[in-house]
C-alpha cells in the first residue's frame, strides 16, 4: 500500500445509510480520531473548531452541526469504525477526498503521538479514497509542518 503498514479497514461491514458530503467529511475525521481506540472531548472540540472555518459547513447552523455529530457518534457507538468509514467512503464526492484526508491527518497528528492504529488508518484511508500515494505523502508532509513546531 504505501504510507504505513497496518490495515484497520478490512471489515466487510455493510453500508446502511448514505451520508451527505458534509457528514462524510465529519465521519472520516471522527473515524481518524477513533482509530487509536480513544476519542477525547478536546479532539471533538478541535473538530468543531476546524469545521466552523470550512466553506462546506458555512450554510449549517450550530444546532445542525451538533445534530450531525450526534448522528455520526451514535453510528460509531452502535456499529463500529468500519461501518462509519464505509458510509463516509460511499458518500464522499471526489472533490472532498483530498481535503478529508488532510483533515484526518491533521487530527491524527494533533496530539503529537501517532499510534500504529492511526498509521494504519491513514494508510488505508488514502488507498480506499483512491488518492495517489505521492499526493498522500505530500499531504502528510505538509500536515507535519505545523505539528513539528514546539
The per-residue pLDDT for 112 is 82
Q: What are the cell numbers at 111?
A: 496530539
Residues 50-66, mean pLDDT to the nearest whole number: 89
Residue tagged 491513514 (cell numbers): 122
CA dihedral in degrees (73, 91, 103, 132; nearest 10)?
A: 140
> Which of 15, 27, 20 has its CA nearest to residue 73?
27
Q: Using one digit for the tens of pLDDT, what is the confidence trace for 129-143? A: 999 999 999 999 999
Contact 108, 121 (CB under 8 A): yes
68, 23 contact by CB (below 8 A): yes
Distance between CA 131 and CA 150 in Å, rounded? 30
Tell whether the model's pLDDT for residue 150 goes beyond 90.
no
pTM tops 0.75: yes
Q: What is the pLDDT of residue 11?
A: 41
Sign of CA dihedral 107, 108, 111, 117: positive
For domain 21-148, give the CATH number.
Answer: 1.10.3680
Mean pLDDT, residues 53-80? 90
Q: Where are the domains of the chain?
A: 21-148
Amino acid at each position: 500500500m504505501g504510507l504505513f503498514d497496518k490495515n484497520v479497514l478490512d471489515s466487510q461491514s455493510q453500508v446502511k445509510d448514505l451520508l451527505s458530503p458534509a457528514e462524510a467529511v465529519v465521519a472520516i475525521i471522527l473515524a481518524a480520531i477513533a482509530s487509536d481506540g480513544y476519542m477525547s472531548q478536546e479532539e471533538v472540540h478541535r473538530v468543531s473548531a476546524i469545521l466552523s472555518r470550512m466553506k462546506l459547513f458555512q450554510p449549517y447552523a450550530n444546532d445542525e452541526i451538533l445534530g450531525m455529530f450526534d448522528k455520526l457518534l451514535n453510528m460509531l457507538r452502535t456499529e463500529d469504525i468500519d461501518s462509519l468509514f464505509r458510509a463516509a467512503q460511499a458518500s464522499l464526492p471526489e472533490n472532498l477526498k483530498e481535503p478529508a484526508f488532510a483533515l484526518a491527518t491533521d487530527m491524527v497528528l494533533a496530539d503529537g503521538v501517532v499510534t500504529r492504529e492511526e498509521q494504519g488508518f491513514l494508510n488505508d484511508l488514502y488507498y480506499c479514497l483512491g488518492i495517489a500515494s505521492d499526493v498522500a505523502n505530500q499531504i502528510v508532509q505538509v500536515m507535519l509542518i505545523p505539528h513539528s513546531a514546539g
